[in-house]
Amino acid sequence: MPYTRAILRELVEAAFTNADLKVFCSDHFSEVYNDFTDGQSETDRVLKLLDFVETHEGLEPLAALLKIANPVKYKAFEARLEQETEEQPQEADPVITDALRKIQEELERNPDYKYLKRRFEAILERISLLSDYKDLHDGLHTIQYSLYQNIVASTKIVEDDKYARPDLKQYLRDYRREVDNMKDAARGEQVGPEEDLWVTQLEQAGNDLEEGIEKADKVQIDGATQTINQVIGIQPTIINRKLYAAVYAYKENLPEPTDLMNKVREKINAIAPDSERVKHFEKGINSLKEINTQLGVLTAEHNTWQDVDNQLRMLPDLLEAGIPVFNKHWQSLRTRIAPYYANSDDKSSVRLKKADELLDAAIAENEVDAVRRAFDNYCSEASDRFFYVDKSVLELCGKLKLIRNELDQ
């Protein structure tokens, strides 16, 4: 059956990580694999794969391979694939095609459009940078919280426990996969060369660890795990800071050109309202606007929590001077942070509002120990709230990558 390129592109991206995509192409499309370059984004590799199959065997064989490689993801897309097949677009109208060509020529002569193209390319570069730092952030997080302790624990018993070796091999496979993903991200065009250095350290430490395990060399094993520990002890904070710097830079670049994009969209849409290109463009621009609004709110809250963190930590000491002194400073901080959760109904906001109310009640009772306990509870919920905000920002960064795919079409 015929398949739609756009849906298959989404399926490929959902089915594979960047590292998995390289393995898949190495196994089935060696010409595409050999054409991959270091630092190339997953989106660019997916588009290269689709371009190749369209000009050779067509999309159907690729779909069949995807069904075998990741049947779960294929099943999730199957209904859409069938729907798209039933709704194949009609042949392109030559009148519309000619109109689009003329409007493109007219736009190329328009200085506003040329400026838009430069700014838009800058936005896409920012999104790529943001995506690369998110991949670095996620890889470090997985190694730090999901793999490292398991690897260390397994190395200590691998010689005595027959079940430890298979577990350790699985942990190391997962570790290599995360490192491979980070290698691709660290070699992105916009990413600083310093990131490649510590990712290479992690790669070498993984190799040393596997070699040490095979030789039962405790010194080599300990040296490798210490290197991993040093990297994950330093880099997550640095990468998180750079990720947010990329978010801020993206936000600063977006608002101005969206108006110009709207002008271009309106002009093209007036001539060819049913064009698939226009639909992709429109979907991408609308999504960018929505993401920008959400990022603005979340980053503002993120910054506010960071600003008040040290002051919140100092508040319990003020209880020694009396509850009125504590309450005066608490209310000053509260006016800055309460607006972010007072009118929201997500779970973290609801819990934080409840903690806020309990603290107010304790202050009204004028009992120091009760205030201290209520404030500790509030700080605990505030910590969860900060984690929720941070996670939400990362999810939006992931969505930006998908939006770029729409715009690349």
Q: What is the pLDDT of residues 53-72, one digit of tens each?
A: 887 878 888 888 998 888 88
Give the model confidence (pLDDT) of 215-246 as tens digits. Answer: 888 899 999 999 999 999 999 888 888 887 77
CA distance 288 to 403: 7
pLDDT-wise least confident of 64-73, 117-126, 128-137: 117-126
Tell me how many domains the chain contains.
4
Give the model confidence (pLDDT) of 158-211 as tens digits. Answer: 767 667 778 888 889 899 989 988 998 888 777 888 999 999 999 999 999 999
Same domain, 163 and 126: yes
More confident residue, 153 or 293: 153
Give me the pLDDT at residue 7, please.
Answer: 82
Same domain, 393 and 324: yes
Same domain, 233 and 140: yes
CA distance 37 to 40: 6
Q: How many CB atoms lie within 10 A of CB 305?
A: 19
CA distance 45 to 47: 5
CA distance 307 to 183: 33
CATH number for the domain that contains residue 314: 1.20.120
Task: Examine the pLDDT at 11 and tell me if it is beyond 70.
Answer: yes
pLDDT-derived band of residue 90, with 50, 70 and 90 as boundaries? very low
More confident residue, 195 or 110: 195
Give me the pLDDT at residue 89, please.
Answer: 45
Same domain, 387 and 315: yes
Task: Examine the pLDDT at 25 and tell me if it is beyond 90.
Answer: no
Same domain, 56 and 136: no
Same domain, 316 and 393: yes
Give the residue among 214, 211, 174, 388 at the shortest CA–CA distance from 302: 388
More confident residue, 96 or 134: 134
Same domain, 102 and 128: no
Give the model confidence (pLDDT) of 300-316 as tens digits. Answer: 888 788 788 878 888 99
CA distance 378 to 393: 22
Same domain, 122 and 241: yes
Same domain, 49 and 165: no
φ/ψ (deg, to 5) at 275: -65, 135
Give me the pLDDT at residue 86, please.
Answer: 44
Same domain, 75 and 46: yes
**Where in the sequence is the domain holding 106, given as residue range(s)?**
95-112+255-271
CA distance 105 to 95: 15
Q: 266 and 354 in contact (C-beta within 8 Å)? A: no
More confident residue, 68 or 278: 68
Average pLDDT over every residue of 385-397:
78
pLDDT-derived band of residue 10, with 50, 70 and 90 as boundaries? confident
Q: Which long-range contacts (CB under 8 A, 24 or more apart) does 101-105 make?
A: 103/267, 103/268, 103/271
Same domain, 290 and 243: no
Among 221, 238, 271, residue at a domain's last position: 271
3-state SS track over the chain: CCCCHHHHHHHHHHHCCHHHHHHHHHHHCHHHHHCCCCCCCHHHHHHHHHHHHHHCCCHHHHHHHHHHHCHHHHHHHHHHHHHHHHCCCCCCCHHHHHHHHHHHHHHHCCHHHHHHHHHHHHHHHHHHHHHHHHHHHHHHHHHHHHHHHHHHHHHHHCCCCCCHHHHHHHHHHHHHHHHHHHHHHHCCCCCCCHHHHHHHHHHHHHHHHHHHHHHCCHHHHHHHHHHHHHHHHHHHHHHHHHHHHHHHHHHHHCHHHHHHHHHHHHHHHHHCCCCHHHHHHHHHHHHHHHHHHHHHHHHHHHHHHHHHHHHHHHHHHHHHHCHHHHHHHHHHHHHHHHHHCCCCCCHHHHHHHHHHHHHHHHHHHCCHHHHHHHHHHHHHHHHHHHHHHHHHHHHHHHHHHHHHHHHHC
Among 73, 88, 103, residue at a domain's last position: 88
Same domain, 291 and 378: yes
